[in-house]
Amino acid sequence: MNTAIIQVIVGVLFVYILLSLLVSQINQVIAYVLNIRAEQLRKRIGEIVVDSSVQRQILSHPLVGLVSNSTKGSNSQAFISNRTAQISQVASSSFAKAMVNIFTDPYLELYSAIALVRNDEERNNLEEIVTQLRANANDPTRSVAVLNHLHEKINQLTPPDRKDRKALLRSLGSVSAALRSIQSGNSRLFQLLDGVSRVENRAFQQAMDSILARVQDVHQAEAAIEEWFTNKMDQTKSVYAMTMQALSLGVGIFLAIALNIDTLQLAKSLWTDPILRGNLSTLAQTTDLARAIESSSTLDIPEEGSTTEQIVQSYATAQGTVDQLLALNLPIGWTFHTPSVADATTGYSPVNDPRNLYALVNPFSGGNWFLRVLSKIFGLLLTAFAVAQGAPFWFDILRRLTNTQGTGSSSPNVVINTTNGQST
């Protein structure tokens, strides 16, 4: 095959890889800011745990930690508005242990209901009484007295919303039933099944009953819930992948337009400029993109509190990739040059300059304006759709192509430093 054609293809692929890396780096910043992965995890858990009380407890449970249960003095709607933590995943085993803990520890629901009390002093008093109740759980006489005292305090609260009072009394009833079960010496599995039977949402209760129908002990129960959760969360991975693919396309369109990277014009420039074509082809075959691709293809969600640092780092990496693109001296970017008398002297043609925005926005700029605009739109969209495929896709094609041509260079030498965006 003609060497010039191969060089053009290699040069275009190299630009696609750099642009795809830039898209991935920008995606990281957007994902950090919008907390996309954790938000989708929270949404999906909310879809499978449809009981509002259990949902609130599981999301704020320390083993799950998607939401901080720190809202004071509001109903469950305020909990929904609580900030989602910056986490990348919820382990199935952690979710299962948390669910078993919720169903076997009725105090969690009670504490969650108390957290919604508006008055700080009243809320603290109720928490102290619950602490006393836990300490006397094995003493039937004393525990009944503390339960009665807690019931009185709930009735004496500053008039709460009807939903808040109902949640407190329902939780108190669950605690009372659980204490009787504990004092009767029932096993933890019995307590688990008893907790499930008190779930308010009938559909979710039936789902849990079906999952736990054949378990013989708590360990089997955890395993059954873990398997159920894993199967349900498989869909989240697909949704996240589609979200990031759509985001990549959007960012790709933006970059193609902002940087004026038109695939058709790029290929034409490489074809007519042998020096640029040769330099770009050589650079593509001697640059190690593997580490940069590996780093950018994995979205690492930071621990809570370190988001700003991660954003700054991703921004610096993206800036380094932009600098590298500009350093290639490609015919990209925009100018705005209106025709002048000096053009005849310099030989510059504003209409034929693919970077001149004037020739695109002015239908009377000369030449076939419609064809020029149509070609530009097609070239920009071609670039956007190409970079949305991801750097690994184009890197694999580039490696196969260069190996086929006998370069033998599947492991390049120049490394793109993805930590600070510098090339070495």
Q: Has residue 217 been placed in a domain?
A: no
Report the distance separating Cα 350 and Cα 359, nearest Å: 7
Domain boundary pick from 150, 178, 200? 200
Report the distance separating Cα 179 and Cα 185, nearest Å: 10
Q: What is the DSSP letter of 423?
A: B
Amino acid at 305: G
* Host domain of residue 392: 3-36+234-415
Query: Given the structure tokens 């001296």, which residue do they identify?
Result: 329
Q: Has residue 372 been placed in a domain?
A: yes
Please, are residues 161 and 113 in contact by the beta-carbon 8 Å criterion?
Answer: no
Query: Do 330 and 376 belong to one domain?
Result: yes
Number of domains in the chain: 2
Please, are residues 166 and 150 in contact by the beta-carbon 8 Å criterion?
Answer: no
Query: Do 102 and 247 belong to one domain?
Result: no
Instruction: Note the helical H segments in 105-161.
Output: 107-114, 120-135, 140-155
Query: Do 264 and 308 belong to one domain?
Result: yes
Please, are residues 51 and 203 in contact by the beta-carbon 8 Å criterion?
Answer: no
Please, are residues 12 and 382 in contact by the beta-carbon 8 Å criterion?
Answer: no
CA geometry: angle at 372 spanning 368 and 378, to 5°?
150
Please, are residues 400 and 271 in contact by the beta-carbon 8 Å criterion?
Answer: no
Q: Has residue 119 been placed in a domain?
A: yes
Query: Do 280 and 408 belong to one domain?
Result: yes
Q: Has residue 243 been placed in a domain?
A: yes
Report the distance separating Cα 111 and Cα 60, nearest Å: 12
The helix/strand/coil state of 287 is strand
Query: Do 281 and 157 belong to one domain?
Result: no
Structure tokens at 51: 């009981």
Sequential pLDDT tens for the chain (424 residues): 458 888 899 899 999 999 998 998 888 888 888 888 888 888 889 899 998 888 888 888 888 888 865 444 344 444 455 677 777 788 899 999 999 988 887 676 777 778 777 778 888 888 888 888 877 777 778 888 888 888 888 888 776 655 667 777 777 777 777 666 665 655 678 778 878 887 888 999 999 999 998 888 889 999 999 999 998 888 777 888 888 889 999 999 999 999 999 999 999 999 998 998 888 888 877 776 676 676 665 444 444 444 567 677 777 888 888 888 888 888 888 888 888 866 767 777 777 788 888 888 888 777 788 898 999 999 999 999 999 998 889 988 888 887 755 444 444 433 333 333 333 3
Amino acid at 245: Q
Is the whole model's pTM more than 0.75, yes or no?
no
Query: Do 55 and 32 belong to one domain?
Result: no
Report the distance separating Cα 255 and Cα 46, nearest Å: 35
Q: Has residue 390 been placed in a domain?
A: yes
Query: Do 109 and 15 belong to one domain?
Result: no
Report the distance separating Cα 244 and Cα 37, nearest Å: 10
